Amino acid sequence: MSDLEDASRAATLPSVGSESKPSARVCSITDALSIVGDRYALLVAREIRYGRTRFNDIAAGTGAPRDVLTARLRKLEAAGILERRRYAEHPPRYEYLLTEAGHELHAILLALKEWGDRHCNPGAEPVVFRHTCGAAFHALTVCEACREPIAGGDLTVTGGTHPVEATL
């Protein structure tokens, strides 16, 4: 088994139940959105990546109402995106840490940030991430095999439970 297969197996989340699916079609995008596609799920992951691991800090960073945040944290914990760890006994207090699957959302957060900078907030001064080389970091999707950036028309769709003929 390759390291990639081993890593992806370790980060596999519980399957989404068929009762919650509108059809028998297997769609990883649909299933992922059922876990992280609401207003606050990815913001929670962002805040934890920023080092804000305690409830009040996550609430302040996301703007989520306390009851909504509590429900979201429970959902993300149940889905294997984060884990809760006690940091104080009296009274009991917890912090939230990303699991391996939660850390894998980082690339999605970076891509959404890029998209949002271009399409939601054009002209506004964006948050800038700097790479260790010193350059401003901009997410780019590349082919794992040849390392070439993906452009329109470079991908063909094959396989799946309901195959489609498409070029992306």
Per-residue pLDDT tens over the stretch 35-69: 999 999 999 999 999 999 999 999 999 999 999 99
pTM of the model: 0.81
pLDDT at 4: 45
Residue boundaries of the structural domains of the chain: 3-104, 124-168
Mark out the alpha helices in 39-105 (DSSP H runs): 41-49, 55-62, 66-78, 100-103
Cβ(161)–Cβ(26) under 8 Å? yes
Task: List residues bridging with 86 in a β-sheet.
Answer: 94
Q: Which two tokens stand for residue 93?
A: 């207090």
3-104 CATH: 1.10.10.10
Measured distance CA(168)–CA(25) in Å, rounded = 19
Measured distance CA(168)–CA(153) in Å, rounded = 5
